[in-house]
Structure 1
């Protein structure tokens, strides 16, 4: 089905079908994290939406709706969409999808086109914070969307997505503490749209990794493999950590997991992270040697199976692999 045909089909769909379509779309943006609906909020919005009805009739009088449009059905859909519930966790994944060029970082699925992301972020940057949008763009310099529930969805393009929630609102309907958090964030890190990445020495740039940070990264990675902490390894992988990095003795997380007998860690590294199953440490030992030495025969079998079908990726394949689906990280 072409995009035009899909749009025509959606335009002729019922309000219920449109709502289901949008709910499924938002769930994809959230990586299948929680997205719900509050019927109480919907009823309240519809009963107190006099201004929205007035605007709707004004638009209808100016012939802003397509021919044959039922304005009350459009408003019903709008009130339903105003009643969708998310958590900080699910909304942060939505923000991360926007930060990641439209690809959900949890599932790896492309949900939005790059053009749609650009347009969405441009709107968020210019009018996402109600009447405070101009000041927010000046002081924070990041695309954001606030809500009267006290939430602020903040996007740091190509870095991360954030959702903060604190109900006390200012006179413009924005979260007081949420705005303070966003302001403090760009004072500490050079995330402002017009911060110079090279010469702004007063701020930190978490996108640059120094020597100390690399050492801590290796330690955290190998310790998680030693303790069998798959959740920590999943967080590291989603934050684009190199899962094949080595310590002073050239040992990898796979060496450690194989030696300790953590089969879930071994499977995660091989199947989700696609690491090399046969790295050699400074003594010439591979993960298979470690598993054999400590008697973990089930891990030996897994490593041998992956070793047989593994081929080192080329530069192009490596780039493609880094951009493809992370669905198995779940």
Structure 2
């Protein structure tokens, strides 16, 4: 698709969203009729494909359970049109359209008026495209070699899938190719066990601290327990607790059923060849098991060999990046699957799971990952990385080549690039941090709020606020609908300090005109503020090109103010 076509499509989508937002402002009464009028062509028909594409632009898939009734009715209409040669195919009239969308009007209106958690979804996915392409050129590492079935996987695979807590979806690359969870199952196993028992019961057997050693090290903490559930020792003990009263077949069925609920019914399967391969190369895990049994780490009724078999089975459960993203989004959404609305976990289990993922989820790189990325994540030696952005989205990346710590090389790079672009780091919410893109806000609304804040401060003569906005990097020449800038208001109100600050420190052009052709100088004269008018006149005389201060001078001043503060 050409750049010109993309721009035209984005422009059309923006016009539709702006217009539909106005419709919503008048309430939901007759919304489907208004929606039809807004989307119909000159024949008073709406294209079904065009409508579906419009929804897809917002991140909403036609397979979404919240659109089930609408898509079923559209399907029936299309089948009828195919049978009737006299009917125009692929388009519907007003009566049919309103009937089709009426059952799912709430979610449709939210999608088309940018009411989802990521309102500017296309802008967000453009960033994801760039990060994906950047990481694609990372050829460091190789697939895990100690499990033969994993060693045979092509290192070229690279996929990224996103699912927000509102069910917005986006996929890039190899997102429908199945692979095994391996260690990514550890936090899920822990969450299911917490949900079934309680933190008090679970942590009688497994600790909560980073081990500071390799994930498969033969070591226990000072209480003779595994350090945490994210290393092999802790995951094996956690597996011994999951539905411990049932036979192993029923325990495995329970885990599979729960993981399918995590994934909203999307791909969750079992890879028997990986399971057999893992079991055949499990000397270290068996050694860990016997070492822990010697130290009384397991519940009394636990069978060691059965527990290890169950652990290997859990690691061999298979997902795709797409289903993995839904699993991550379920954790981001406090335990409720965003694509089905099913509450899989209670919020306490999710909170505790994310806490340990944040501190222990990335093997021996966990500390550096927490420092650089600042988000809960879990990696596995099959190349998967499950990343959770609480209250916003889940992301799953898959690329088999691993770095020296056993994490996906591309996956780790993607996470680091993501946080470099977005304010997702756990501490990006601190005051006075560098400005990053926040996909949760509307770009238009954000700019509008900037204009309001800036002009209000100028009207009130609040130089302190103006300095703060300048330090934050705000464009100090922003204008409202009428072309009125802070300089206009400062001059009209006679605030010499505001006018002087904007001209001399921020470099705002003095010749800016509003929609009626008035400059700030004109406003100072009209409202009889002669001292301000004289200041502006002198400045305009000395700066006839109105180019104001150079960028270097303004930057130098900002650095000076920061130093003084």
Q: TM-score range by the shorter chain?
A: 0.5 to 0.7
* CA distance in 1 between partners of 2:445 and 2:277 (Å): 54
What is aligned with 2:523? none
Q: Does the C-alpha gap of structure 1 residues 87 and 9 become closer, same or farther in structure 2, counting only changes over 3 Å? A: closer
Q: Is the 8 A contact 1:190 1:197 kept in 2?
A: no
1:11 aligned counterpart, secondary structure: coil
Q: 2:322 aligns with which of 64, 84, 89?
A: 89
Structure 1 residues 79-228: aligned runs within 5 Å: 79-196=312-429, 199-211=432-444
In the TM superposition, residue 196 of structure 1 has moved relative to its aligned partner by: 2.3
Q: Does the C-alpha gap of structure 1 residues 117 and 3 become closer, same or farther in structure 2, counting only changes over 3 Å? A: closer
What is aligned with 1:36? 269
Give per-residue Cα distances to partners, 1:24-61, cap 9 Å, x unaligned.
00000000000000000110111110011001001111
* CA distance in 2 between partners of 1:20 and 1:85 (Å): 14
Q: 1:68 aligns with which of 301, 307, 312?
A: 301
* CA distance in 2 between partners of 1:212 and 1:115 (Å): 34
Q: Does the C-alpha gap of structure 1 residues 182 and 65 become closer, same or farther in structure 2, counting only changes over 3 Å? A: same
In the TM superposition, residue 94 of structure 1 has moved relative to its aligned partner by: 0.3
Q: Does the C-alpha gap of structure 1 residues 86 and 55 become closer, same or farther in structure 2, counting only changes over 3 Å? A: same
Q: Is the 8 A contact 1:197 1:205 kept in 2?
A: no
1:184 aligned counterpart, secondary structure: helix
State whether structure 2 residue 287 is matched by structure 1 residue 54: yes
TM-score between both structures, scaled by the size of structure 1: 0.61
2:253 aligned counterpart, secondary structure: helix
2:243 aligned counterpart, secondary structure: helix
State whether structure 2 residue 239 is matched by structure 1 residue 14: no
In the TM superposition, residue 213 of structure 1 has moved relative to its aligned partner by: 9.0
What is aligned with 1:77? 310
1:155 aligned counterpart, secondary structure: strand
* CA distance in 2 between partners of 1:55 and 1:107 (Å): 39
* CA distance in 2 between partners of 1:139 and 1:201 (Å): 15
Q: Is the 8 A contact 2:244 2:302 kept in 1?
A: no
Q: Is the 8 A contact 1:190 1:200 kept in 2?
A: no
Structure 1 residues 295-306: aligned runs within 5 Å: none
Give RMSD over aligned pairs: 2.3
Give per-residue Cα distances to partners, 1:270-311, cap 9 Å, x unaligned.
xxxxxxxxxxxxxxxxxxxxxxxxxxxxxxxxxxxxxxxxxx
* CA distance in 1 between partners of 2:435 and 2:342 (Å): 37
Give per-residue Cα distances to partners, 1:131-155, cap 9 Å, x unaligned.
0000000000000000101111100
Q: Does the C-alpha gap of structure 1 residues 3 and 172 become closer, same or farther in structure 2, counting only changes over 3 Å? A: closer
Give unmatched runs, 5+ long, in structure 2: 1-194, 203-240, 448-565
In the TM superposition, residue 63 of structure 1 has moved relative to its aligned partner by: 1.4
1:45 aligned counterpart, secondary structure: helix
What is aligned with 1:225? none
* CA distance in 1 between partners of 2:327 and 2:402 (Å): 23
Give unmatched runs, 5+ long, in structure 1: 215-330
Aligned residues: 212
Q: Does the C-alpha gap of structure 1 residues 213 and 38 become closer, same or farther in structure 2, counting only changes over 3 Å? A: farther
Q: Is the 8 A contact 1:188 1:204 kept in 2?
A: yes
Q: Is the 8 A contact 1:99 1:158 kept in 2?
A: yes
1:164 aligned counterpart, secondary structure: strand
In the TM superposition, residue 201 of structure 1 has moved relative to its aligned partner by: 4.7
Runs of 4+ in structure 1 over 3 Å off:
197-201
Q: Is the 8 A contact 1:190 1:204 kept in 2?
A: yes
What is aligned with 1:279? none
In the TM superposition, residue 203 of structure 1 has moved relative to its aligned partner by: 0.8
